[in-house]
Structure 1
Amino acid sequence: AQGLIAAIAGREVLLRATPLRPGAWLFIVVTLGALGIAAGYELFEWLVVVVANHDTQVAYLATQGDPWDTQWDLFLCLVGAALSQLVLSRPHDRQLGLRV
């Protein structure tokens, strides 16, 4: 849900507030924006773990023993952002009254 929500919300903001139109540039900017939000959250998560005590670290991080948890989160954000745009961009454009 992380990439999906950020992508559709970001897409709407960019279509309404910038001269960007549906196409490759919008797709790239939205996808990178969603990845940026996810990366920011992962950095915040890391900062909490660095500052907190051991019990809080274990409870907050919740990686379930997976050392690749951060990379998986970012990969799934990328997949969610890309798929949501591929599947929902046409209905979204119609809803906004843009030419499809």
Structure 2
Amino acid sequence: MVGGHYTYAEVPLFDGLFGAERNNYDKVGHFFQGFVPALIAREILIRLQVVNGAAWRNLFIVSVCLAFSAFYELLEWWVAAATGEDAEAFLGTQGYAWDTQSDMWFALIGAITALICLSRRHDKQLQRIAKTTPS
């Protein structure tokens, strides 16, 4: 809600944070753009038993998150192309040529962080559910 109130480029908390020339608030959003879909994809893949093996499942989860992030970046580009002159304000690149790539990098970091930090806990919760659910 903070980003919606100020726009990404103008969130006061992130102005000049750590000496950055641009406001990096949008990177927080892109981190969670990888983090949250990773949890959802993991839940679906485990419950539906789509992929066997944790390594393949994790690769698939990260790939899904990056595909989602890439689609979002394409959507931003399409809207920017359609709006013309207001594209810079909508994109929030703030003159940073590698904004799209860094956005996807933060989504990748978010997806991997979710898998590393929450996989064991998620597995325990799924085991607990399996024990209480009648077959």
Fold-level similarity (TM above 0.5): yes
Aligned twin of 2:26:
none
The equivalent residue for 2:6 is none
2:57 is the alignment partner of 1:50: no
In 2, Cα distance between equivalents of 1:26 and 1:71: 24
Structure number with greater Rg is 2
Alignment match of 1:61 (pick from 88, 91, 95):
91
> Which structure exhibits the higher relative contact order, with contacts defined as CA atoms closer than 8 Å and separated by 6 or more residues?
1
Give matches, 1:87-98, under 5 Å. 87-97=117-127
- Find the counterpart in structure 2 of residue 34 from structure 1: 65
Which structure 1 residue ranges, 5 or more long, are not aligned?
none
Instruction: Report runs of 4+ in structure 1 exceeding 4 Å deviation.
Output: none
Could you say what secondary structure the match of 1:97 adopts? Answer: helix
- Measure the CA separation in 2 of the matches of 1:81 and 1:32: 9
Q: Identity rate of aligned residues, in percent?
A: 39
Q: Is the 8 A contact 2:88 2:94 kept in 1?
A: no
Pairwise CA distance, 1:86: 0.9
Q: Please report the RMSD computed on the Cα atoms of aligned residues, expressed in angstroms.
A: 1.7
Deviation at 1:64, TM superposition (A): 1.4
In 2, the alpha carbon distance for the partners of 1:21 and 1:96 equals 16
1:72 is aligned to 102
Indicate the SS of the match to 2:105: helix
- Among 42, 46, 64, which residue is 1:11 paired with? 42
Q: Distance in 2 between matches of 1:3 and 1:77?
A: 4
Q: Distance in 2 between matches of 1:9 and 1:53?
A: 35
Secondary structure at the residue paired with 2:96? coil
Q: How much does 1:14 deviate? A: 0.8
TM-score (norm 1): 0.90
Task: Please give the alpha-carbon distance, in whole angstroms, between the structure 2 residues aligned to 1:92 and 1:21.
Answer: 17
> Structure 2: which 5+ residue stretches go unaligned?
1-31, 129-135
Aligned length: 98
